[in-house]
Structure 1
Amino acid sequence: MMKSMIIFFLMFIVGNFIFVSKHKHLLIVLLSLEFIVLVIFFFFVFILNFFSYNMYLLMVFLVFSVCEGALGLSILVSMIRTHGNDYFQSLNTLI
């Protein structure tokens, strides 16, 4: 049990490190967010199975994570249509 908690924590730290580090592409940031959501989902599954609770919370969590992914993809598509790429450098609010 303790080994799996350490693995979940390390995966969460790696996902957060990728998210906070400076990347040029929006797609990498969105993929790191999905990785963090996946780690949190596995953590919820582990904890709820350990305490023998119902899994209804997981369905709500999955619904919100799918909505977050769809919103991120729509932002990515609209950014590529307007700017031609997904670089953060092309996002200038002054122009």
Structure 2
Amino acid sequence: MWGIAAGILQSAKNDNNNEDVWGWSCVDNKRRQVFADKVDYALVCRMQSWSLVCCLIEVVLECIAILLYSVVFYRYYSKQRLRKSMDVRD
């Protein structure tokens, strides 16, 4: 889900010439000049850039967690198999 969100965020930012929900604050246009005293456009732009970074960090962490759980479950499964084979041998 985080990977899909990061992909949508980045593709929307790249394909819409900064006229989308994500890239509007990073463009120096008339709206920025008119509302500069009410909206900190630089802050909003940085926050949107960091949201992509956070999405990617979340994807990496989830992959590491899935890998770790897979190793633990495989270890548990292999120990169960070994225990059964040892019981049969004895």
Do these two structures clear the TM 0.5 threshold for a shared fold by scoring above it? Answer: no
Bigger-Rg structure (1/2): 2
Q: TM-score range by the shorter chain?
A: 0.3 to 0.5
